[in-house]
Chains A and B, each alone.
Chain A
Amino acid sequence: MLISKRKRQLLTVITYVVLAGFAVYCMLPFLWMLVTSIKPTDQIRTLHPTFLVRKMTFAHFDNVLNNSAFLTFFKNSLLVASITTVISLLISIFAGYSLSRYLRFKGVRLFGVAMMLSQMIPGVLLLIPLYLTMKQLSLINTYGSLILAYTTFAVPLCTFMMKGFFDTIPSEMEESAELDGCSTVGIIFKILLPVSLPSLISTSLFAFLNAWNEYMFGFVFINDEAHRTLTPGVSLFKGLYQTDWGSMMAASVLSVLPIVVIFVFLQRYLVEGMTAGAVKG
């Protein structure tokens, strides 16, 4: 027994209170989105806002799904975010391994510094230079521009996360495999990756989420509806003189829900994956 029974009961009550508080804090805006999305227009912007829905309607969902290009945006986001995730993961597995095992080389240390520096550039300033670069690569208005940009933004963090995970794996495992004649690439794929599956999953979730939610570059690089991604697409419901709150909230709910579901299913790995990295950071 670590604590007495009375104390334990008290602790449980406190835990529930704290968790309930956090749940309200976290869910409030999301619930507001949800409630708004099923309210009729004349009940949305009133003087007496309430969480009660007097007359439920799915008109906004109907509008989003049938009268807007939402499904195209969704498909585009899925494509861009997935490819970004795969590429970022591949790149950061190797970069992370290098940072974890070969930090004794100056070049590798320098690379670590560069990755750190890249986190400090305000995105605002990248807008025009990156547009120029993309134009020179003839990538404006293609998925390629977004994938390239999002991968660049995701790689540093993913690399650091992978480095953290590799740090926790003792190198004795590799040494014996090396003696068996395994190449380094073989070691990474056959020995290290299988044991760091949770880490791979949590790293991919980061890359995916970043790409899924990005807004500014999604707008600036993409010119047409056929290539537009979700967040810029949803914000188009903010119209010329008035915001179509019902449809915007419906679209937001539809774009957030799949991610929440993915997170719920994968959250066990998320924490496990972070656990591996957390020990050594």
Chain B
Amino acid sequence: MKKRFVKWSSGLMGALLLASALSACGSNNGKETESSSSLGGSESASAALDAATSPVTLKFWSALDPSTDQGKAIQQKVKEFDDSHDNINVDLQVLSYDVMHDKLIAAINAGDAPDLSWGLSEWFGEFNKLEALADLTDSFNAWSDKDKIYPNVVEALTVDGKLKALPNYLGIRALLYHENILEEAGLSAPPKTWDELLNNAQLVKDKTGKEIFGIAGAGVRSPQELIMYLAQNGVSLAEKQADGKYKNTWQDNQDQLAKASEVFQFYQDLLDKGAIKPDAKTWGWEEEDQNFVLGQYAMVVDGTWIEGRASENPEGMKDVKIAPPIYKGSPATFMEIAPLFVYKSKHPQEAFEFASFLMGADYQKAVNPSAAPRTDVVDGGWGKDFMALASQGVVFPPVSLGGITQAMEDSLARVMLKKEKPEDVAKQLSAAINDSLKNSGELSGS
């Protein structure tokens, strides 16, 4: 019996040894791929020569929704581009954002990224840090339409003076409200400030039985809303320091800490005063949107896509109106810049040619009539009211956000689920942000 165990455990040891021997080969392989990808420069030169003879295929990953008109328009436009360019073939693939991130990370890590892809604004800092993105500064400056793109959008996609991504569409947030619910409560206009909102919460609840407001307490949208409220009170997540790196400065500055704490206090008040549904404290964007579409509460800070949801509840969506978001110190809204990532590829010229088509007036008019990153496209309907807010839009700092957005979600849960003191939560978030920056080597002074 004892002998058997010894044999067994020696077997295990053997397996471990074998595994570690293999892993040594593994790290070598990694180096080989790295060095081969660094040869990309010389390959691109020869590829440029080839281009004259054989067409270049651009791999383009999109998160378009083929069941919508927008999705169909995109497919149509891309096909038009493909047909009218003999030297370029576009290989358009449809993926959902859910899996696109992991798929891109796996592909980038293997030096196998597509030429272009859609993406979320939260990935920008990470992909830049992964050195996956092409430097588009020169191509963009040579582009005839460059002045048509909102300047603050271009600035947000610029890191250390280099343009590292292009805007695909804008998801500017505005205050959407069910006019009927507010009227039923006797409000002729939506509240403008946090305090007005909180003061009217009970009134709306008493008169209509519904809540006045909705938030996303978890999921990708909750950090987006949190930085908006922070900006509305004049604080930001992380600021660029003299050394070009970032730091959260709340703990160094009593005033900022107080303001950040007020934001968390606001979240707590929303919940305590019944301004939001109790479930909103942990639900994500799907529930936030769905409940608003179903007319379960009066107002929400949300994007233009809600317009497309009217088909589900045509009657209940008729009364929806748009206003600027509520604020405290300074008006601000979240401006989601969905980036169009252009990766380091063998065909930089063709990739940019295609990218400039995707940012062109023709494509944007057909695809993003109410969410275009261009100043000359949006002229009516929902989009106009949203675009009017472009100048007050805030964005995430261009750092890797994986750990930071997680910490932000946690802080909301602490303040609303665990009812921790807003000031403690602000301090903790500040520390967590700096920890995350430190881990990715982006913390100032480290």
Contact = CB atoms under 8 A, between A and B. Distances in A.
Would A and B touch once assembled, by the CB under 8 A criterion?
yes
Interface of A: 41-42, 44-47, 63, 67-68, 106, 109-110, 113-114, 117, 127-129, 131-132, 135-136, 140, 216, 219-220, 223-225, 232, 235-244, 247
A127 B114 CA distance: 18
B98 interface: yes
B308 A242 contact: yes
A132 B29 contact: yes
A48 to B, nearest CB: 10
Nearest to A240: B65
B130 interface: no
9 contacts: A44-B312, A106-B7, A110-B15, A117-B15, A131-B107, A224-B93, A236-B96, A238-B98, A242-B308
Instruction: Report whether over half of chain A's contact residues are helix, strand or loop; otherwise say mixed.
Output: helix
Interface stretch (B154-162, B271-279, B289-297, B409-417): B289-297
Contacts of B71: 239-240
A110 B14 contact: yes
A141 to B, nearest CB: 10
A63 B15 CA distance: 51
Contacts of B96: 235-236, 238-240
B94 interface: yes
Given A131-B109, A132-B29, A136-B29, A240 B305 contact: yes
Instruction: Report whether over half of chain B's contact residues are helix, strand or loop; otherwise say mixed.
Output: helix
B67 A47 contact: no
A236 B94 contact: yes
Taking residues whose C-beta sits less than 8 angstroms from the other chain, chain B's interface range is 35 or more
A42 B311 contact: yes
A47 B93 contact: no
Contacts of B311: 41-42
Contacts of B112: 131, 135, 140
Nearest to B65: A239
Contacts of B290: 45
A47 B107 CA distance: 42
Contacts of B94: 225, 236
A63 B102 CA distance: 29
A220 B106 contact: yes
B4 to A, nearest CB: 9
Given A42-B312, A242-B309, A235 B98 contact: yes
B176 to A, nearest CB: 14
B110 A106 contact: no
A129 B33 CA distance: 13
B29 A131 contact: no
A232 B67 contact: no
B143 interface: no
B99 A240 contact: no
Contacts of B29: 132, 136
B431 interface: no
B91 A47 contact: no
A216 B105 CA distance: 13
B15 A47 contact: no
Nearest to A45: B312
Contacts of A247: 67
Contacts of B93: 223-225
Contacts of A242: 289, 305, 308-309, 312
B77 interface: no
Given A41-B312, A109-B8, A140-B112, A240 B105 contact: no
B7 A109 contact: yes
A132 B110 contact: yes
A239 B95 contact: no
B314 interface: yes
Contacts of A224: 91, 93
A106 B67 contact: no
A240 B66 contact: no
A239 B70 CA distance: 12
A132 B109 contact: yes
A159 B33 CA distance: 35
A79 B271 CA distance: 53
Interface string B1-30: 000000110011011000000000010011
A43 B97 CA distance: 27
Nearest to A242: B309
Nearest to A248: B67
Closest 5 CB pairs of A and B: A239-B65, A241-B305, A131-B106, A110-B11, A219-B99
Nearest to A239: B65
Contact of A239 (B7, B67, B106, B296): B67
B178 to A, nearest CB: 14
B63 interface: yes
Contacts of B14: 110
A237 B106 CA distance: 23
A179 B96 CA distance: 61
